[in-house]
Chain A
Amino acid sequence: MNNLIEHADIDGELIPILDQVADPEIPVLTILDMGVIRYAKLVNDKVLIKITPTYSGCPAMDVISDDITMAFEKIGYEVKVELILSPAWTTDWISERGRDALQSYGIAAPLDENADKEALLGNKRIVKCTLCGSSNTKLVSQFGSTACKALFKCEDCLEPFDYFKCLK
């Protein structure tokens, strides 16, 4: 949880509540793991939350906003959720726990910026298969099931899998 505090301004007492809200498209991740919560403060029983979209057109943002509102209203807080665009979201904000959860869910976690470019141009085989761990994987498409992912295929175990693209 420590790396959460570095990039966002979140009241410690709100963390357990926010941590119950799952990402609607990748349910193994919480919205805290995704790093979309930028600000969360409790003032006189009123909660103010600021969230930022992963991608501009991310259809999950409205659902995330509703889910946060529900999580707090359920326990008697008044809550306001605001959408902010700056600073822009980056995959660096995905927590270590989140990266592990992605891997075990079958989505390869983002590489660093340069490695990501090599992988997505098909120059290097460095994205590891989430099933067998082999690096003998092939880019199928730079765009996958959602805007944030690319589609890969393992040439050893033949597993098709998503890769979470680096966004910096």
Chain B
Amino acid sequence: MNNNLYNYVLGIADNCLILGQRLGELCGHGPSLETDIACTNIALDLLGQVRSYYQYAGQIEGQGKSEDDIAMLRPEREYVNTLLVEQPNTDFAYIMARQFLFDVYHYMFLDSLKLSKDETLTAIANKSIKEVSYHLRFSSDWVKRLGDGTQESQNRMQQAINDLWTYTDELFHQTDADQVMIKNGIGVDTTALKDDYYNRVSVVLKEATLEVPESKYFQKGGKHGIHTEHLGYLLADMQYMQRTYPNLTW
């Protein structure tokens, strides 16, 4: 099998799975009915996308693994999502800041993935980007509403942006598999997106009357399987049923 392609697909897919799971945790717990439904709708889009990626990964691996096997049966160190998406749901400002910082990246990434030489990836990218444009609109809107809202909502949104800023640089970190895929014309050269990313984020933050953090201290590790402590709890919850009753089906 093509190990680099397999790892590359997982790298994209795991972000969608973990963020989808985080948003799914809000089902029945959102701050209002409309935001609850919006977050779970976004979760559904992300889980739909991840299904396509994992089905493809299963084909590449060629050992008959289903999308569920890949989603549910790996230990923490084998997940290669970025640290940003696994951060917990604290307050709603935090949830929307996390979503916004990811959506800007996700949109730009898919826009470039549309040009990949890999036909399956371009098909998924063309499909997903339509959905992600709605996610980005929703999260940008909330960053502005809370940022340019009351003193309390502004403080919370600023705090969330400041706290999560440290995870943004990792979105552009490239693993060995990423670099091989870029060379083959399959992967997205994320370094070329970085300046534009920070510009786009800054435009929204300024409109939201928020300050753009200046910190240059960045965390990474997720793309190599080294995670913050939050991922373990998320997986324990997500994998519980398959771990307790192996091969259970509905």
Chain A residues proximal to chain B, CB less than 8 Å: 53, 55-59, 84-90, 120-121, 140-147, 151, 165, 167-168
Contacts and interface: CB of A to CB of B under 8 A. Distances in A.
A11 to B, nearest CB: 24
A149 B77 CA distance: 38
B49 interface: yes
Contact of B130 (A58, A59, A167): A167
B49 A57 contact: yes
B138 A56 contact: no
B51 A142 contact: no
B124 A55 contact: no
Contacts of B131: 55-56, 147
B34 A141 contact: yes
A84 B127 CA distance: 11
> Which residue, of B34, B35, B130, B131, has the highest number of chain A Cβ atoms within 10 A?
B130
Contact of A86 (B45, B48, B122, B141): B122
Contacts of B130: 88, 90, 167-168
Contacts of A141: 34-35, 37-38
Given A85-B127, A86-B123, A87-B126, A58 B134 contact: no
Interface of A, helix, strand, loop or mixed by DSSP: loop
A141 B37 CA distance: 9
Contacts of B82: none
Contacts, number: 75
B137 interface: yes
Interface of B, helix, strand, loop or mixed by DSSP: helix
B208 interface: no
A86 B126 contact: yes
B48 A58 contact: yes
A143 B131 CA distance: 11
A101 B34 CA distance: 26
A57 B44 contact: yes
B19 interface: no
Given A142-B141, A143-B38, 16 more contacts: A53-B48, A53-B127, A55-B131, A56-B128, A57-B44, A57-B47, A85-B120, A85-B126, A85-B127, A86-B119, A86-B126, A87-B126, A89-B127, A120-B134, A141-B38, A151-B34
Nearest to A59: B44
> Which residue, of A144, A147, A167, has the highest number of chain B Cβ atoms within 10 A?
A147
Contact of A142 (B38, B46, B48, B122): B38
Contacts of A168: 130
Contacts of A167: 130
6 contacts: A55-B44, A55-B131, A88-B127, A120-B137, A141-B38, A144-B37
> Which residue, of B48, B52, B138, B141, has the highest number of chain A Cβ atoms within 10 A?
B48
A120 B141 CA distance: 11
B38 A55 contact: no
A96 to B, nearest CB: 22
B123 A57 contact: no
A121 B133 CA distance: 13
B41 interface: yes
> Which residue, of A53, A86, A89, A145, has the highest number of chain B Cβ atoms within 10 A?
A86
Contacts of A85: 52, 120, 123-124, 126-127
Nearest to B55: A83
Contact of A57 (B48, B134, B141): B48
